[in-house]
Amino acid sequence: MNRTTLDLWVGFFVALGMAALLFLALKVGSFSGVHMERTYSLQAKFDNIGGLKVRGPVKSAGVVVGRVADIRFDPETYEAVVLLNIDARYTFPKDTFAAIYTSGLLGDQYVGLEPGGDERKLAAGDTIFKTQSAVVLEKLVSQFLFNKAAESQDQP
């Protein structure tokens, strides 16, 4: 094999490797090349959103039904306000419950929607009032240790 052919093959495999790394980076970053065409917006307020990020998935029954569009802090209520873009194909009852869950080995967080039983549906611009904040592992550990310390002080 002459030098030019060898250089061509090496260049081809380097380009293929870079394309594979780009693909992997986009998948880990929750990039969605296909955007939902028609969406409507809902908002939910949480005491703590943990590591939730903009463009994070919104799931119901394990199916991605939308994306997190915006996260902001409300200085009046001291809560995080999360704006959700939901695919127009999916509608949810007024008493839908929104919670922040963790998935995967990397600890990615997403908003999970659990539909209620109300016959009235959420419309664009509505607020989901029933929410559960993210579970913060450090807070759970410190509460556990504090309770153990309090128990040991109570015993003679």
Model confidence pLDDT, tens digit, residues 69-106? 999 999 999 999 999 999 999 999 999 999 999 887 67
pLDDT higher than 80, residue 156 = no
Q: Please report, rounded to a whole number, the percentage of residues in the chain having pLDDT higher than 70.
A: 87
Query: Of the segments 71-75, 105-109, 139-143, which one has the largest average pLDDT value?
Result: 71-75
**Closest to 115 in 3D by CA, of 74, 36, 61:** 61
Model confidence band, residue 122 (pLDDT cutoffs 50, 70, 90): very high
Q: Going edge to edge, which strands form the sheet with 127-128? A: 127-128, 39-46, 79-87, 63-74, 57-60, 108-114, 97-103, 130-132
Mean of pLDDT values over 42-62: 92
User: What was the pLDDT predicted at 147?
Assistant: 75
Q: What is the pLDDT of residues 18-47, one digit of tens each?
A: 999 988 887 776 555 555 579 999 999 999
Q: Which residues, in sequence order, are CB contacts of 99 under 8 Å at separation 6+?
A: 111, 112, 114, 131, 132
Per the listing, tokens 């463009």 go with 55
Q: How far is CA 93 from CA 9, 62, 81, 142, in A?
A: 57, 18, 20, 37
Torsion on CA atoms 73, 27, 133, 112, rounded to nearest 10: 120
Can you give the pLDDT at residue 135? Answer: 76
The overall average pLDDT reported for the chain is 86
Other CB atoms within 10 Å distance of the CB of residue 68: 22
Q: What is the pLDDT of residue 37?
A: 72
Coil, strand or helix at 23: helix
DSSP 121: B
pTM value?
0.69
User: Tokens for 53?
Assistant: 């990020």
| pLDDT at 11 (0 to 100) | 92
What average pLDDT does range 50-57 have in this prediction?
90
